[in-house]
Chain A
Amino acid sequence: MPSLKSLRTRINSVKSTRKITSAMKMVAAAKLRRAQEQAQAARPYAERMERMLGSLAASLAGGEGGPALLAGTGKEQTYLIVAVSSDRGLCGGFNGSIARFVRNKARKLIVEGKTVKILCVGRKARDILKRDLEKNIVGTIDEIGRPQLGFHHAEKVAQRILHMYEAGEFDVCSVVYNRFKSAISQIVTDQQLIPFAPPVAVEPARGEAPKLVAPGDSQAIYEYEPDEGEILADLLPRNLSVQIYRALLESNASEHGARMTAMDNATRNAGDMINRLTLNYNRTRQAIITKELIEIISGAEAV
């Protein structure tokens, strides 16, 4: 039977753990709200960018080649996977699911005879992936978005990817991130960035009315200033930044959502544990008192 003192210390330690987890939950909830607002604010830009690129790409389609970012390098040998995770742990399955997805994808590609390179955004993905894919990891970008995630962070990541692309280090690039669905559910999403794949159908973002695209809108013959090629050359790298920015924002919101849920569970579990331990403690105390009484009474009877 555990001693009373050891029980007391355990109860206290679980109590302070509960304090920490519940504080973390509050913090995550506050951050989640901000992250969500930020993600929502970034949506219009990404949507319009997509629409514009779509019409540009359509008007260029049929023409030869186009910029390498649009047409690709013509091979599909080397894949770059950008894994977006968080820098900190204690957020449930958030990083684990990213790592699992990346690992499966990388294995599949390796079996097919492709070369796989992984760029980790966030420390956690690297920590998990380096166990069995260490030689595939080409770089890590961490401490991103501190104190607050901004567009320039995304631009930095995009610059790095572009440099690698121009140096011919990969042919296809995709980004894997947790898309924010709700505070308790995040969806691992795999999005191809290079070559640019026009979205099949843009689903309207939550809380926003579906965009009414006037008929004939996309078919309108645009005038270009300067010409298509130059605009496209300007727009494609920018689109890359925007897509990465969106991935980072979604991932950021997901991280806080995941942490909030995880910490909520932890707080509840700690509460249960405290109840159990307290019951145990009281029983033990009662048992000791009873034992002492019996000793006294039987001693008195013996006299």
Chain B
Amino acid sequence: MADKVEFELVSPERLLLSRAVEMVVVPGVEGDFGVLAGHAPLISTVRPGIIEVHEDGKITDRIFVAGGVAEVNAERCTVLAEVAMPVGEIDRHKVEAELKDLADDLAAAKTEDDRDVLQAKIVIAESKLQAISTVH
């Protein structure tokens, strides 16, 4: 169909989604953007957040991504995500525990590099929590 866009979501570990959809909303670094068929070619980095897949005017899939890159052209939208999981699979308690561990690690971290890495992980965990709270 002409008014559909081939959406692909890939993480290093697997190909999560590959099908033609009506619209995808991708959280870009400079703001969310919706991709419909015939979108202008664009390459953007993606911030941690939720990718929404729209079909028939409804949201059919919500997938959490922890940053990555999106490549868009007229027929295709490809998102290369570092970590990606459906929002439904996020376990609130696990993430909260993880966040606590990370905070402890951060307090114990010695080098600047370690701190940067942990800080980045915390941002991801926090945006995960945020992702869940928007659903419930």
Contacts and interface: CB of A to CB of B under 8 A. Distances in A.
Task: Say which size band chain A's interface belongs to.
Answer: 20 to 34
A241 B82 CA distance: 11
B20 to A, nearest CB: 15
Task: Say which size band chain B's interface belongs to.
Answer: 20 to 34
B78 interface: yes
Interface class of chain A by DSSP: helix
A300 interface: no
Q: Among the interface residues A38, A42, A56, which one has the most CB atoms of the partner chain B within 10 A? A: A42
Nearest to B78: A48
Interface in B74-123: 75, 78, 80, 82, 113
Contacts of A235: 69
A52 B12 contact: no
A217 B24 CA distance: 21
Nearest to A224: B43
Contacts, number: 75
Given A41-B15, A225-B30, A48 B44 contact: no
Nearest to B30: A225
B13 A52 contact: no
Contacts of B42: 222-225
A278 B22 CA distance: 72
Contacts of B127: none
A44 B15 contact: yes
A22 to B, nearest CB: 32
A150 B41 contact: no
A112 interface: no
A52 B45 contact: no
A245 B10 CA distance: 15
Contact of B80 (A45, A56, A217, A245): A45
- Can you list the 9 inter-chain pairs with the closest CB atoms, starting with the nearest? A225-B44, A151-B12, A41-B14, A220-B41, A222-B41, A45-B10, A223-B42, A44-B15, A45-B12
Interface of B: 8, 10-15, 28-30, 40-45, 69, 71, 73, 75, 78, 80, 82, 113
